[in-house]
Amino acid sequence: MAQDVGTTTATLARRQGVSWRKHPLENETVLGYLLLLPATLLLLTFVAYPLIYGLYLSMTNTLVGVPGQFIGLQNYATLWADSTFWTTIRNSFNYTFWTTIFKFTGGMVLALLLNNEFRGRRFVRAALLLPWIVPTVLSTLAWLWMFDSTFSVFNWLLAGFGVTGPNWLGDGPWPMISLMLVNIWRGLPFFAVCFLAGMQGISQEYYEAARIDGANAWQRFWSVTLPLLRPVIAVTTLLSVILTLADFQLIWVLTRGGPADTTHVFSTYAFQTAIPGNALGLGAAISVFMFPFLAAIVFFTLLSIRKEDH
């Protein structure tokens, strides 16, 4: 009897071996790696390779159409002594910080309003997305007309109150303020929709319990809504910071970094240096410069999300 059991076990093992040789996809480990392969190839092709090549270019004196030589950190030393580059750094972080603050605040207010029942709520929710879904260049061209020094609709409205409007894209701090206004207008729906989606996922039982405990509307928001929205807030803010810090189309259409290079951010200054300025290596160094900041922001944001989960 024992001999028959051993023979049967050996036969089953041989059959499983044959099955493994005929059907390798039945192995979960192999199947898992095969399913990951397309995404891995996409990441290597469109993320890893451009990043590595950009790092290499930033350490060469490559020009447009002219292969360069390895020069180490010379491009970074050149940027360190460039006053326009330091203006670019200040502009980039001021632009990102203030627009994110206003988009966050306005998006939260809109989400709280749209989370209530009122007539026409669906229409308002759909209309809210218009600034975000319209192509950036198309909407920015409309803003370019509204900021025009001669035909500005804002200055026309101010003139009705006896106030002389500023040269929005030409004088003092107004060009940077104008860029921030357009970015806030465009990015506000993203925050509002993300926060609204997060609020829709919060169980009403939490609010009912808070009401029973005597919490008013502000206390319910501070003690229930805000804590439960923290993962959504972190991810939304992270995406907005990344997109805003790398903003190009809006700024290039409105000011092209002017007047006198006073509204450049990393992307516009890198483009102007690399393409019109013919210095690909130096332009790559400007682009790579913001990578450590973005990496640090992503790292600490994801770390905070993990702490919240635990």
247-276 core/surface letters (b: 16 or more CB in 10 A; e: else): beebbbbbbebeeebbbbbbbbbbbbbbee
Mean pLDDT of the chain: 84
Q: What is the pLDDT of residue 21?
A: 53
pLDDT digit string (tens) for 9-60? Answer: 555 555 555 444 556 667 777 778 888 889 899 988 888 888 899 899 999 9
Cα–Cα distance between 15 and 93 in angstroms, integer? 65
Question: How many helices (H) and strands (E) in the chain?
Answer: 17, 0
Residues in contact with 50: Cβ distance below 8 Å, sequence separation at least 6, in sequence order = none
Contact 287, 264 (CB under 8 A): no
Cα–Cα distance between 76 and 59 in angstroms, integer? 8
Q: Of 30-34, 68-72, 109-113, 255-259, which range is least confident?
A: 30-34
Q: What is the pLDDT of residue 74?
A: 92
Four-point Cα dihedral 232, 236, 239, 243, nearest 10? 180
Q: What are phi and psi of 263, to 5 degrees?
A: -120, 20
Provide the β-strand partners of residue 63.
Answer: 66, 279
Q: What is the pLDDT of residue 72?
A: 87
The domain defined by 89-266 carries CATH number 1.10.3720.10: yes
Residue type, 265: V
- Cα distances from 306 to residues 191, 231, 245, 297, in angstroms, run 21, 9, 24, 14
Predicted TM-score (pTM) of this structure? 0.82
pLDDT digit string (tens) for 164-190? Answer: 888 888 888 999 999 999 999 999 999
Residue type, 10: A
Place of tokens 């059959």: 15
Q: What is the pLDDT of residue 223?
A: 87
Q: What is the pLDDT of residue 1?
A: 47
**Predicted confidence band of residue 309 (pLDDT cuts 50, 70, 90):** low
Query: Which of 103, 101, 134 shows the shortest CA–CA distance to 250?
Result: 134
- Cα distances from 175 to residues 147, 181, 212, 259, in angstroms, run 9, 10, 51, 8
Please tell me which residue, 253 or 299, carries the higher pLDDT value. Answer: 253
* Residue 242: count of CB within 10 angstroms of its CB: 15
Q: Of 125-134, 184-193, 203-212, 279-288, which range is least confident?
A: 125-134
Cα–Cα distance between 190 and 168 in angstroms, integer? 26
**Predicted confidence band of residue 310 (pLDDT cuts 50, 70, 90):** low
Q: What does the DSSP assignment read for 6-25?
A: HHHHHHHHHHHHHHHHH-GG
CA distance between the termini of the chain: 55
Place of tokens 């860029």: 179
